[in-house]
Amino acid sequence: MPDVQIRIPGNPGEYPVVIESGLLSRISPRFKPFEGRKVAVITDENVAPLYAERITAALDAAGVRPVVRVLPAGETTKCMDQLEGLYDFLLTSGITRTDAVLALGGGVIGDLTGYAAATFLRGIRFIQVPTTLLAQVDSSVGGKVAINHPRGKNLLGAFYQPELVLIDTDTLSTLDERQVGAGLGEVIKYGCILDAALFERIEACGSRENLAPLYPEIVARCIELKGQVVFEDPYDRGLRMILNFGHTLAHAIENAAGYGEILHGEAVCIGMVAAAAWGTRLGITPPDTESRIRHILTDYSLPIEIPSGLTAERLFPSMALDKKASGKEIRIVCLEKIGRSRTVPVPAVRLKELMEQLSSAPRCQDANPF
Taking Cα atoms as reference points, which of 348, 354, 349 lies closest to residue 283? 354
If one compares 218 and 235, the residue with the highest pLDDT of the two is 218
Q: 11 exposed, middle or buried (CB, 10 Å; 0-12, 13-18, 19+)?
A: exposed
Same domain, 79 and 31: yes
Average pLDDT for the chain: 93
pLDDT band, very low/low/confident/very high, at 366 (cuts 50, 70, 90): very low
CB atoms inside a 10 Å sphere around CB 91: 11
Q: Are strands 152-159 and 15-20 parallel, antiparallel or unpaired?
A: unpaired
Same domain, 24 and 112: yes
If one compares 238 and 194, the residue with the highest pLDDT of the two is 194
What are the backbone angles phi and psi of residue 111, rounded to the nearest 5°?
-65, -45
CB atoms inside a 10 Å sphere around CB 172: 20
Same domain, 148 and 189: no
Tell whether the model's pLDDT for residue 8 goes beyond 70. yes
In a domain, 118, yes or no: yes
pLDDT more than 70, % of the chain: 94
What are the backbone angles phi and psi of residue 207, rounded to the nearest 5°?
-160, 160
pLDDT band, very low/low/confident/very high, at 4 (cuts 50, 70, 90): confident
Q: Are strands 15-20 and 38-44 parallel, antiparallel or unpaired?
A: unpaired
| Residue 252 DSSP one-character state | H
Tell whether the model's pLDDT for residue 98 goes beyond 80. yes
pLDDT band, very low/low/confident/very high, at 9 (cuts 50, 70, 90): confident
pLDDT in tens, 282-302: 999 999 999 999 999 999 999
In a domain, 97, yes or no: yes
- HSE toward the beta carbon, residue 280, CA cutoff 13 A: 17
pTM (predicted TM-score): 0.91
For the segment 145-165, the average pLDDT, to the nearest whole number, is: 93
Interacting residues of 353 by C-beta distance below 8 A, sequence separation 6+: none
Same domain, 65 and 199: no
Domain count, the chain: 2
- HSE toward the beta carbon, residue 278, CA cutoff 13 A: 30
For the segment 71-96, the average pLDDT, to the nearest whole number, is: 97
For the segment 179-197, the average pLDDT, to the nearest whole number, is: 97
* Angle, CA 192 vertex, CA 311 and CA 105 arms, to 5°: 75
Position 301, amino acid: S
Picking from 125, 159, 174, the residue at the C-terminal end of a domain is 174
What is residue 70's predicted lDDT score, i.e. its pLDDT?
98
For the segment 196-204, the average pLDDT, to the nearest whole number, is: 98
Helices 196-205, 177-194: inter-axial angle, 10-degree rounding: 140
What is residue 243's predicted lDDT score, i.e. its pLDDT?
96
Q: What is the CATH number of the domain that holds 56?
A: 3.40.50.1970
Same domain, 253 and 298: yes
Q: Are strands 164-168 and 125-130 parallel, antiparallel or unpaired?
A: parallel
Q: In what order do the strands lie in the sheet with 340-347?
A: 325-326, 329-337, 340-347
Same domain, 35 and 112: yes
pLDDT in tens, 307-364: 988 988 889 888 887 766 666 889 999 999 999 999 999 998 999 899 888 876 655 5
What is residue 323's predicted lDDT score, i.e. its pLDDT?
64
